[in-house]
Amino acid sequence: MNAGAAILEVLFQSPDQFVPAAELHRRVPHAQRELAALRQLGYDIENHPHLGYRLRATPDRLTADDLRARLRTPIIGREIVVFDETGSTNDIVARLARDGAREGLVVFAESQTRGRGRHGRVWVSPRGKGLWFSVLLRPSFPATRITIAAAVAVARAVGHDARIKWPNDVMLAGQKLAGILTESRAGAAVLGIGINVNCDRTELPDVATSLLVATGQRHDRLALAAAVLTQLDAEYRRAAADFGRVTDDWARRSTTLGRQLVVRLGARRIEGHAQALDGDGALLLRLDNGQIARLLGAELVEERP
């Protein structure tokens, strides 16, 4: 961890409180120079002659130092890279995976020019309005569990009674708030997540929403990013040790289980009643003839009671 991240870590550990100057300088050599650099980036750091330093406000700008300073995760987020703009964060992580990057690498972008969802659909990524990022994973379990675990993690971090719609959406107030795309690339799993945070109504498709639109309030993107990565790390490790607990949580938040679905699987259309998830994260669909179809990667066409 570099000096800037170390200063932020110390200040984050004492929210709304002063950190004595002697303590800060003991823990972070050359702190004065790094404090000046942080202020230039927009961090409002108060300096009291007797009490020390206090963080009053942070800029609405994703930085690797800030995110690392907020995390205590053993796997996800041990390395973080932030781009101002890129084509697709999934593509960048796939390239880094081929070069031998470690599991847990996270790549964020303030804007994507070629963001995508499942089946090649375009994902709109307004600059500085959401969280658009990808994670490099090398799971010891079937990679099909990853989307399920990620949906639970995002819903937990978002709160506000967020729900999960199979196969890969997190919903708020009946509209799509976040999308999840897991791809097998370069012998690894690349998990892409897009969350609409402070997007205006005019910046979103009709079927989508954002935290700003749904709640009427702007949200701290950095705090939310840290919460998502923290939850994602926990759910990823739980998917390896006790996936049943993950699927139980998914089921409690699901808008899909118990409903009649029409799905498209290649050229086929299949209709049935959504029963449960199996141990690999596949959806079990009871067909009209009583048979059970096991679905991985199908496209949801219609969902009804």
Q: Report pLDDT for 298.
A: 79
Q: Which residue has the higher pLDDT, 20 or 123?
A: 20
Predicted confidence (pLDDT) per residue in 261-294, tens digit: 999 888 888 899 999 999 999 999 999 899 999 9
Q: Report pLDDT for 303.
A: 80
Q: Report pLDDT for 118.
A: 54
Question: What is the enclosing helix (H) or strand (E) of 301?
Answer: strand 299-304
Please state, for a pLDDT cut of 70, what percent of the chain lies above it. Answer: 96
Torsion of CA 87, 128, 104, 94, to 10 degrees: 0
Q: How many CB atoms lie within 10 A of CB 19?
A: 19
The encoded tokens of residue 51 equal 């009490």
**Is residue 120 over pLDDT 70?**
no
Q: How far is CA 220 from CA 57, 128, 197, in A?
A: 11, 11, 9
**Is residue 222 over pLDDT 80?**
yes
**Is residue 243 over pLDDT 90?**
yes
**Is residue 227 over pLDDT 90?**
yes
Q: How far is CA 207 from CA 101, 171, 175, 176, 286, in A?
A: 36, 10, 6, 6, 28
**Is residue 237 over pLDDT 90?**
yes
pLDDT, mean over the chain: 91
Domains of the chain and CATH, by start: 3-57 (1.10.10.10), 64-253 (3.30.930.10), 260-304 (2.30.30.100)
| DSSP-assigned states of every residue in 88-149 | -HHHHHHHHHHTTPPTTEEEEES-BSS-B-GGG-B----TTTEEEEEEEE--SS-TTHHHHH
